[in-house]
Chain A
Amino acid sequence: MTAISLKLRRIGLPRLIVHVSVLLIVILWLIPTLGILVTSIRDKNQITTSGWWTAFVGSSQTSAVRLGDPATAKQEGGKFVISGSVFENGATGKVQAFGTRVQEPAAYKVGQTVDLGEGESLLINGDGTYVQSKATAFEGRPKRIYLTVTVPPTFSLDNYRTVLNSEGLGQAFINSLTVTIPATIIPILISAFAAYALSWMQFSGRALIIAVVVGLIVVPLQMSLIPLLRLYNEIGNIFGVPSKTYAGIWLAHTAFGMPLAIYLLRNYIAGLPKEIMESARVDGASDFEIFLKIVLPLSFPALASFAIFQFLWVWNDLLVAIVFLGTGRDQLVLTGALNALLGSRGGNWEILTASAFITIIVPLLVFFCLQRYLVRGLLAGSVKGG
């Protein structure tokens, strides 16, 4: 709370309006993600019959069941009686109403004996137990009735089990890690050396290189794709190696992250106190030693900021992955897998929501744990186009 905001509070909008509007914004921003989170742990039948916002109150479904077989009827006090439960096939829930015709599936209330004509009567209780009785013997097939059942909310991790194993998300997760870990760490070292040279070493052409690096920050990835794809294919042909490899994408991500990395780190390293460098130099330390022992440890906050950027960017990237990696199981990353599922499993929301949540959980964890560094990085490098 700064003094400015205290002043504004006295003169500005009434506080209540501010609180309510921020609350509304927060809800608006949270609901989309909440929707897939809740859906991903719901039962897949419930997902298709009711909105996720009703997940906690249970859903109401109409279904048809057959009562017990006439052969199981018992004679009680001059009547033939069949009794049992409508939930014998393993379903659970609470019966709200029932009917004998599909047009009126909720014609009768539960807990009351209903006269169905021809001496037949039927009682269904809320818990699903029923008593069907008739003056004469039952004939033919078991009676079909229609039930309106409210199903209590059930939550499980079944959807996650399904997508991780049979939909290949587990493998894709590993592939994403395989792409991301080296593609985050390696550019840091290379760009840190470059940033040091551009900040503390005197040589001709320095200003030009800095200008080129700044210019390259905004060069669209699209400019690189065609020539690089051709280059990779040619190299693959000449040396008889596959053109889509992890090594290829590591280098690509390293290079694409390089301009921002050099820019961010140079800004930071150039701002380090001159006295430290000079006193180290007077003590006889070489540039190599100064960099390793002084610059690298002091630049930790900037290195962390860039590492988070690069991690999020590589993990969330789709374009580079589909151009430079194959679509086989052993190379498909999470974003690619999710994109493929959108095509093949378009309406299966239990699969899509669980998969989506798996792809976003790691970046969200990184985000919430390291938000401080991310904000600092954003403020330092907001010329970058993403």
Chain B
Amino acid sequence: MFAQILSAVGVMVVGVFICALYYWLSDKALQLVFPVRDGDVIGASRNLNRRAAVRPWLFLGPALILLGVYLVYPVIATFILSFYDRAGQDFVGFANYRWAFFDAGFRQSIFNNILWLAVVPAACTFFGLVIAVLTDRIWWGNIAKSIVFMPMAISFVGASVIWKFIYEYRGGNDAQIGLLNAIVTSLGGNPQVWISMPFWNNFFLMVILIWIQTGFAMVILSAALRGIPEETIEAAVIDGANGWQIFWKIMVPQIWGTIAVVWTTITILVLKVFDIVLTMTNGQWDTMVLANLMFDWMFRGGGDSGRSAVIALVIMAAVTPIMIWNIRQANRDAGGH
């Protein structure tokens, strides 16, 4: 056991050492290949320029190789694989796309994903904003924020166990040990098997992600709220606006950009939601979403890389507008630099 930990720490040390060695050695090699000698002014300046031209690529090299192998190449390969058969051998044209278009499971997943997209980002942003506004006004607000923020640190699998226990159902006359059913029965209702109620079970799964992500929205929005210039609020107070009007007409418009960022960030997360569905229902009872369907096809019956690639591309297509927007934004920011 400790041998394994030791080997992990060893790998870390060796890995860091090799990385450091690479950068150090490549720098030395550069100085050897393009030497700067006293007396040879023209040669020295030419070599200095050459060094300056090569050095960025030495610094960037490992990162670019990793990005290339693990992200850029797979994106292209997945696109190509989507036109091939299940084993990735024979070209099948648009057959996989046609399959997706007519497949009931695929349509179900798209529908559920749209449902998630409609509910989760909105709910997280709304609760996050409300909690940010409320906690900013009380002396123990930071403690409250910490607690709402805490689920961010919990894995989706861990959170699924936590919530599965809340949704637990026990048949017959057994005492309900799941909190939700205990509340329902104490109010005189009948206990329900929440996670196998078609359609509504999607919402019970969404609650888990909302529970996790509201803290994120709260932290970002809270920082934005603190950045609002005081004068604008003072002016509104002098004009006789009430708290409600100040919130909706003065504060919200000023943090609109941040709200958009929070919304899109959670949207991307929702598109990739996988762990929660896998652990709660594994897509049963009409809860399948795209990421799970894709994973399912990756391994079902030995795996179908073509269909699975098509599903991955649908997720990719959905994030592309956000991606383009981010790149534009980054270019605009970098313009001044």
Contacts and interface: CB of A to CB of B under 8 A. Distances in A.
A385 B147 contact: no
Contact of A33 (B136, B150, B237): B150
A250 B14 CA distance: 13
B66 A251 contact: yes
Contacts of B135: 22
A25 B144 contact: yes
Contact of B275 (A4, A201, A319, A367): A319
A364 B305 contact: no
Interface string A328-347: 00000011001100100000
Given A193-B62, A222-B315, A250 B11 contact: yes
Interface residues of A, number: 130
A275 B181 CA distance: 64
Contact of B70 (A185, A252, A317, A367): A252
Contacts of B165: 32, 35-36, 39, 349, 352-353
Given A32-B211, A190-B62, A230 B177 contact: no
A218 B67 contact: no
Interface string A287-317: 1100100000000000000000000100111
Given A182-B11, A378-B220, A255 B66 contact: yes
A11 interface: yes
Contacts of B326: 214-215, 217-218, 383
Given A7-B237, A201-B56, A316-B156, A378 B219 contact: yes
A277 interface: no
B288 interface: no
B254 to A, nearest CB: 12
A220 B312 contact: yes
Contact of B134 (A22, A223, A323, A338): A22
Nearest to A252: B70
Interface of B: 1, 4-5, 7-9, 11-12, 15-16, 19-20, 23-24, 27, 52-53, 55-57, 59-60, 62-64, 66-67, 69-75, 77-78, 81, 88, 131, 134-139, 141, 143-144, 146-158, 160-166, 168, 174-179, 182, 211, 214, 216, 219-220, 223, 226, 228, 230, 233-234, 237, 242-243, 246, 261-262, 264-265, 268-269, 271-272, 274-275, 278-279, 291, 294-295, 298, 305, 308-309, 311-313, 315-316, 319, 322-324, 326-327, 329-331, 334, 337
Interface in A205-230: 206-207, 209-230
A360 to B, nearest CB: 4
B60 A32 contact: no
A186 B10 CA distance: 12
Interface stretch (A42-50, A81-89, A105-113): A42-50
Given A22-B134, A352-B165, A368-B146, A316 B179 contact: no
Contacts of B12: 181-182, 185-186
A172 B4 CA distance: 11
B319 A219 contact: yes
| From A270, A339, A353, residue with most partner B Cβ within 10 Å | A339
Contact of B176 (A51, A224, A366): A51
A11 B250 CA distance: 14
Interface string A74-97: 000000000000000000000000
A71 to B, nearest CB: 37
Given A5-B137, A171-B1, A382-B265, 7 more contacts: A22-B144, A203-B57, A210-B334, A319-B274, A338-B158, A356-B161, A359-B155
B265 A342 contact: no
Contacts of A191: 63
Interface string A365-386: 0111001001100110011111
A196 interface: yes
Contact of A193 (B16, B59, B153): B59
A19 B138 contact: yes
A8 B264 CA distance: 29
A2 interface: yes
